[in-house]
A and B are shown apart, each in its own frame.
Chain A
Amino acid sequence: MPTPRAVNRRPLIAAATLLGIGLGGFVDGIVFHQILQTHQMLTGKLPPTSVRNIEINMFWDGLFHAFTWASTMTGMALLWQAGKRSDVPWSTRTFVGGQAFGWGLFNLVEGIIDHHILHIHHVTETENHLVWDLAFLASGVVLIGIGLALMRAGRSDSTARGGQPVA
């Protein structure tokens, strides 16, 4: 009779989720703050209508990016640790799903706290910002759904890193 072996997917999911949070934060910062020049950290309090306000917002964007960088680095450290464990299935679907889940989680949590509770900024500082804010939350929900579906599909993956069966 075959001996059952314990499988632990949590380390890989946690690492991928943290990477998704960090990289999702960088997408937010690069695409919205820098390329589209909107959605900076404190534009709800300090509208970007003067160089002074833009520069102050840049400082707070920098602090925000420091934390997204720390999330990414911590995710990489957890991924490195997970790769050394023989009980963690090295599943591409789980890893990609975890990252999508983390990115969606970032959009959802950041959106709820910053856009809807604290009102420190909105996706666009316009009259109809609610539509954009809700679309941002919806993107988070969609990404979480995709992530959960991929992680569910990855349940059947049972190969540890290096091609060995998990043990």
Chain B
Amino acid sequence: MSPTTCRVALLLIPLALLALAAVAPSVNACPFCDGGPTGVNEVRDGVFDENFWPRVAATVAPFPVLAGIVALIYFGPPTLRRSGHKDAEVAEPTSPPSSA
């Protein structure tokens, strides 16, 4: 598997889990709750109600912000990227390298 494929797979995993939760009957919340005498699965109905997508958005809301901060760390601010900035330059060591 190429590194690009790995990266794409990692990005798709949360989306796949979400899609699975939304569409697969076998992974609906509380599969053992048959609703009892009323026949209503309250947990399933409580998860997949009209608030489902707003609650998805609320649950995952911190992650895009955190991903943005990590991207900024990894790639650097746009101004530094344009100027080809490197963290630092060090001279060739004259003595054996210190342990990290």
Contacts and interface: CB of A to CB of B under 8 A. Distances in A.
Contact of B29 (A14, A56, A92): A56
Interface residues of B, number: 46
A126 to B, nearest CB: 21
B23 interface: no
Nearest to A61: B59
B24 interface: no
Contacts of A102: 70
A27 interface: no
Contacts of B7: 77
B37 interface: no
B69 to A, nearest CB: 6
Interface residues of A, number: 62
A7 B59 contact: no
A6 interface: yes
Contact of A55 (B17, B29, B97): B29
Contact of A52 (B46, B93, B97): B46
Contacts of A106: 62, 66
Interface of A: 2-11, 13-14, 17-18, 21, 41-42, 45-46, 52-53, 55-56, 58-60, 62-64, 66-67, 70-71, 73-74, 77-78, 81, 89-93, 102, 105-106, 109-110, 113-114, 118, 120, 154-159, 163-166
